[in-house]
Structure 1
């Protein structure tokens, strides 16, 4: 299935250059509706779903991936808490635990997160089959939620070298305007620890990086921020190989035919992303 996106070719070339792997992205169909998969996670049922599946819930969407899997989700709060699957995160529960990530404990558990510009990240362990679904907005990224999730894998016996991380469709840096203060707060997570630093120092450091996560903006006090790239750089600092990471070449803001975008529409609509443990 081919989806027209004037920006996907440019994004794909950029992100492929970072990842240095042969990852491919595939548009799948279920009952005539499109969702996205990544070859890096080909051994796990997974999907980044488009707005065409709204208002379906994970309980309904799991039929696309693995109908017999147990379904888990959380109440997302833009933090860095990552929980393991349990009763408080089952989709059938009336209320959900507050968190922004879920890590499976056994096979055939489906974990889900929703997003509408923030980064949905799906993570899998090649040896254990354990998986996680993470919601990483700029606040979660500033709080290093993906490194927190990887630490959770390690507690369960995983080796970082066995983990695969896929960052799904999110708002692209070229169109994501934020304040310099926000950019510095997020950028601080990859800034060398050299004591107290100013916003100007952090932004200057980011600008000098070979693959800078910030771009200039014509409005004073503003910059453009690539949140996915900051997550990528956080992983790089942990020693995660570029070949273990893939970034979707799709922007939620620039592709309204397929994705909701809070920044574009100012409405609380979401698309789901999920993965099933092996």
Structure 2
């Protein structure tokens, strides 16, 4: 099956893509393009999937760069493939030929570009990372490499949508303690439960940071099992593990 790659005109003319699970070699609960070495999928199959992504991005396997994502606010500047898997939740570069990649399964994959300056970034922004400032850290990291904030464009890829993201009162309280205006990103649920709008919150943080444009592809990972992996859907289904989607941008 052919790889399915979602793109955005905001990031043109740079090569980029939010890859769905279609077109991969994995089977069973991982069926499709599982690119997560942290899953219990067969290591050699994950490598085959990642090689397919590298070929689609026209880079060597070693230049398809992922890091050890830990829900932090750390953005790592790179000039070459790193040794090992450093802990970070965003990567930025001005080096042609490097493909910056993020793995997700409900969290926001966010791709950034200042095409004029030749600076790109990729961030993994779950609720904790977004709240702690990973999006702003990515923008700061790009500026340190010569990007201009007013030229940066960012796109949020497939992520969990509000209707599928039910949370408890302690979750809401954490956001309200940060800023009472964050109530705008929550809607009522059953009992004391509420629904959180993660992509709307991500767009708010991006736009408040003063970049040129920000958008969301409007794909929900939870509600489309044929195209996307979802940690929350897997949990609700009682499955043993889940695949990871990959999102990539390169100069």
By the TM > 0.5 criterion, same fold?
yes
The match for 1:213 is 185
Deviation of 1:187 after TM superposition, in Å, equals 5.3
TM-score (norm 1): 0.74
Deviation of 1:261 after TM superposition, in Å, equals 0.4
Contact 2:75 2:89 (8 Å CA) reproduced: yes
The match for 1:8 is none
The match for 1:247 is 216
Unpaired runs of at least 5, structure 2? 25-32, 35-45, 236-240
Alignment CA distance shift 1:236-1:33 (3 Å): closer
The match for 1:231 is 202
Deviation of 1:188 after TM superposition, in Å, equals 5.2
Report the RMSD for the aligned CA atoms in angstroms.
2.0
Deviation of 1:32 after TM superposition, in Å, equals 1.9
Deviation of 1:240 after TM superposition, in Å, equals 2.8
Unpaired runs of at least 5, structure 1? 1-30, 192-201
SS at structure 1 position matched to 2:116 = coil
**Matched pairs, number:** 223
Contact 1:142 1:185 (8 Å CA) reproduced: no
In structure 2, distance between residues paired with 1:276 and 1:32:
21
Q: Where does 1:103-118 land on structure 2 (aligned, <5 Å)?
A: 103-118=92-107
In structure 2, distance between residues paired with 1:131 and 1:188:
32
In structure 2, distance between residues paired with 1:139 and 1:179:
15
Alignment CA distance shift 1:68-1:258 (3 Å): same
Match of 2:152 among 152, 163, 169: 163
In structure 1, distance between residues paired with 2:234 and 2:131:
24
Contact 1:124 1:132 (8 Å CA) reproduced: yes
In structure 1, distance between residues paired with 2:223 and 2:176:
24
In structure 2, distance between residues paired with 1:167 and 1:104:
19
Match of 1:97 among 82, 86, 92: 86
The match for 1:12 is none
TM-score (norm 2): 0.82
In structure 1, distance between residues paired with 2:51 and 2:89:
18
The match for 2:124 is 135
Contact 2:3 2:19 (8 Å CA) reproduced: no
Alignment CA distance shift 1:39-1:223 (3 Å): same
In structure 2, distance between residues paired with 1:155 and 1:146:
15
Deviation of 1:86 after TM superposition, in Å, equals 5.1
Alignment CA distance shift 1:257-1:268 (3 Å): closer
